[in-house]
Structures are given as C-alpha cells and as structure tokens.
C-alpha cells in the first residue's frame, strides 16, 4: 500500500491527525477556524475504534489535501459529517463558510440519504440483491451529484473508513468491502485517481477474500527479489 495511506491508517489521535494535516497543506485562518469548530462540534463522540470522532474528518481532510490543495475541498472534508452527526444545520454551514462549501456538504449528506433509500440493509444475506442495489446506488449517486469535488471527498471518506474497518464485526466488514468494490472503486477509476482506486480495491479484496489475499501477499513477498531482478534485466535489454 502507498506509504502515505499506511501512515494515515496508523494515526488515531487528534494531535497526530493535526500534525499530518499540517504536513499536507498550509492551514489558512479559515481552515484553522474550521478545525476548532469540528473538534468542538464532535466533542463527546467516538468511533467504534474508540478514538475521538474528530480524528476522522481531520484525516479525511489529510487524504483530500494529498490530492487537492483547494481550500474549499479541504474545508468540506473537515465538515462532511457535521450536518448528519451534530445539531448544526446546513444553513449554519452556509452562513459561516459560504455557499460553495455548503453546497458540497449538502451533496455529501445527500449521498447518505440515497444510500439509506437504495442500499440493501447489512443484515440481508442475498448477495445478488446486494450487488443489484449497490449498482443502483452507484448510478443514482453519479446522477445526483453535480460537483465532482463532492465525489473526491466521498472517496477520501470511504478510504479512511476502509482503513479503520477492523473495528467492526466481520459481517459488516464484508458488506462494506463489497459496497466499496462495486460502488466506489469504479468511481475512483472513472475519475482517474489511481492511488485511491488501488487502495480501495486492495482493502476491499482483503476483507472479501482474506485467504486469497494472504496467499497472494505471501507469494509477492517471497518472490519480490526475483521479480525485481527480472524487471531490472528487462529494462537493461530494452534500453
């Protein structure tokens, strides 16, 4: 996996998350105000892994900043769960941080609403229904979002959720991984963000096919030296 993504996976405190965000982008006064706001807004909320909830939006902002330095996109990443998970409204977001950011936050909230309407519940064991509903969800998601930046933030959000999937029960891990493979990997591929696409695909495969993943990983580790030698020989003969 990409070293940056591995680094993100190992961060679980607000302090370390903020330090990484500083590494990824220069924090304007607006972004600093947003950070203070979301830490306060999510105060007392915790993820299944036990870490303070605000670690998640900060790390989503880190991933987003890794791909785009646009302030509005990073701000949206920080705010992406505020309307859904706190008492602050979209009107408040618009009043405080402008219509552009509010529009993107609204788009992310709508994705959650579409998922709740179209996606088969996680306790449904029919794989064909799951795939069918995931495909419908993907089509509606793409059709309903009029700003590609919303999809970029959503992909970064999904990546961090996949990186912390170990905190959930096995049945939920598999369902979320299947959804990721059917819905989000193709979107990342369509947008041409290969780092996100590859990471999401790799993580999904790990949870859906754990035995096969282990075998492939072991083979690659054992054959790494030989493959590198063959690759070097190939380069030398073609140059």
Determine whether 179 is an active site residue: no
* Alpha-carbon gap, residue 233 to 120, rounded angstroms: 50
- Pick the catalytic residue from 2, 40, 84, 113: 84
* Alpha-carbon gap, residue 235 to 213, rounded angstroms: 29
CB distance 99 to 150 below 8 Å: no
What is each CA distance from 145 to 90, 150, 161, 195, in whole angstroms?
17, 7, 21, 22
- Pick the catalytic residue from 71, 85, 100, 106: 85
Sign of CA dihedral 180, 182, 183, 187: positive
For every residue of 158-180, which 3-state class applies, written as one string? HHHHHHCHHHCCHHHHHHHHHHH
In Å, how far from its chain's centre is CA 117? Answer: 21
Determine whether 217 is an active site residue: no
Beta bridge partners of 46: 52
* Alpha-carbon gap, residue 96 to 112, rounded angstroms: 23
Active site residues: 84-85
């Amino acid at each position: 996996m990409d070293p940056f993504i591995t680094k993100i996976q190992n961060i679980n405190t607000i302090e370390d998350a903020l330090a990484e965000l500083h590494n990824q982008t220069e924090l304007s006064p607006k972004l600093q105000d947003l950070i203070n706001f979301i830490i306060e807004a999510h105060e007392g909320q915790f993820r299944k892994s036990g870490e303070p909830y605000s670690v998640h939006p900060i790390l989503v902002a880190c991933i987003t900043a890794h791909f785009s330095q646009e302030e509005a996109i990073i701000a949206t990443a920080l705010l992406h769960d505020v309307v859904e998970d706190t008492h602050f409204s979209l009107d408040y977001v618009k009043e405080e941080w402008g219509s552009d950011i509010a529009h993107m936050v609204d788009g992310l909230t709508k994705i959650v609403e579409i998922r709740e309407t179209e996606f088969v519940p996680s306790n449904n064991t029919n794989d064909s229904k799951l795939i069918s509903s995931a495909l419908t969800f993907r089509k509606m998601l793409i059709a309903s979002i009029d700003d590609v930046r919303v999809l970029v933030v959503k992909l970064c959000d999904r990546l961090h959720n996949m990186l912390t999937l170990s905190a959930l029960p096995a049945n939920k891990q598999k369902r979320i991984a299947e959804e990721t493979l059917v819905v989000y990997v193709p979107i990342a591929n369509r947008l041409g963000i290969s780092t996100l696409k590859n990471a999401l695909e790799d993580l999904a495969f790990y949870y859906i096919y754990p035995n096969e993943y282990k075998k492939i990983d072991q083979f690659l580790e054992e054959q790494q030296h030989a493959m590198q030698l063959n690759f070097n020989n190939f380069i030398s003969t073609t140059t």
